[in-house]
Amino acid sequence: MKIATYNVNGVNGRLPVLLRWLSETQPDIACLQELKAPQEKFPEEAILEAGYEALWLGQKSWNGVAVLSKIGKPEVSRTSLPGDDSDDASRYLEVKVKDLIIACLYLPNGNPVPGPKFDYKMGWFERLDAHAEMLINSGKKVILAGDFNVMPTENDVYKPEKFKNDALFLPEIREAFHNLIGQGWTDAIRHLYPNETIYTFWDYFRNAYQRNAGMRIDHFLLSPEVLPQLKKAGVDTDVRGWEKSSDHGPVWIELK
DNA sequence: ATGCCTTTTAACAAAAGA
């Protein structure tokens, strides 16, 4: 079984690229972030025609997450993180498919630092941390997948020194990510490729993709019950080079 | 030092992204 996560940066503007990617790579489940579309503007028909049933949380202009499946319709588990009823950003969609719980998440960017956006990011991470602990303690097969907006180590960004004061790389956010992992989660890409330089995002400008000036910010975290099934993982880096592509590339895992 | 591009919204720039 192949599961993918892809920050599409606009699901309607990206539809031709999204459909081509689904058709060429055939993930069984795809988690999408940054739909940038209200609930009623999600391209459900085109996704259905591509063979996928979908659940999605839309929002006007920004955010938005979805889970696509061609192995049975996902069942909603949660549509937000617990802990802050005032947060109405569409950033978290947790579903059940088969025997898996899959959390599709879009962590806030957090820049500029310092400021309310970074405070919001740290607060969001705290709520994720608390909920993830509950999930991992459940003993179920759980996957946290999505755009975490965190480069976990210096090997995850092309020029670490340039990002010392960035919300994606500050010590406190890397520590938050490290603490989350410490609950018992496994970073699937790093588990299979401990030392390789692997990126999932390349900026639109300065020819970042052509220069491979990238960052690894989209992640798969696996609960201990899922880890033994991990067979392969990778990034569809070529998709980032397609015409009208997102600034992120799709990341995927294969489970036995 | 810098959002240098791209998307969305809306009707022009502005906001946001990372």
Q: What digits encode the pLDDT tens for the residues A175-208?
A: 999 999 999 999 999 999 999 999 999 999 999 9
Structure confidence at residue A124 (pLDDT) = 98
- The pLDDT, as a whole number, for residue A114 is 93
**Residue-level pLDDT at A240:** 97
Tell the CATH topology of A2-255: Deoxyribonuclease I; Chain A (3.60.10)
The overall pTM is greater than 0.95? yes
CA A181 to chain centre: 15
User: Tell me, what's the pLDDT at A247?
Assistant: 97
pLDDT band at A30 (very low <50, low <70, confident <90, very high): very high
- The CA R_g of chain A, rounded to the nearest whole Å, is 17
Q: Which of A161, A189, A170, A167 is nearest to A249 (CA)?
A: A189
Distance A204 CA to B6 C1' (A): 7
Task: List chain A domain ranges.
Answer: 2-255
Would you tell me the crossing angle of helices A171-181 and A116-137 to the nearest 10 degrees?
10
CA of A3 to C1' of B8 (A): 28
Q: Mean pLDDT over residues A17-22, rounded? A: 98
Cβ of A211 near strand B (distance < 7 A) = no
Strand B nucleotides, any atom under 7 Å to a protein CB? 3-9, 16-18
Instruction: Quickly give A12 CA vs B4 C1' distance in Å.
Output: 26
**A40-95 pLDDT, tens per residue?**
999 999 999 999 999 999 999 999 999 999 999 999 999 999 999 999 999 999 99
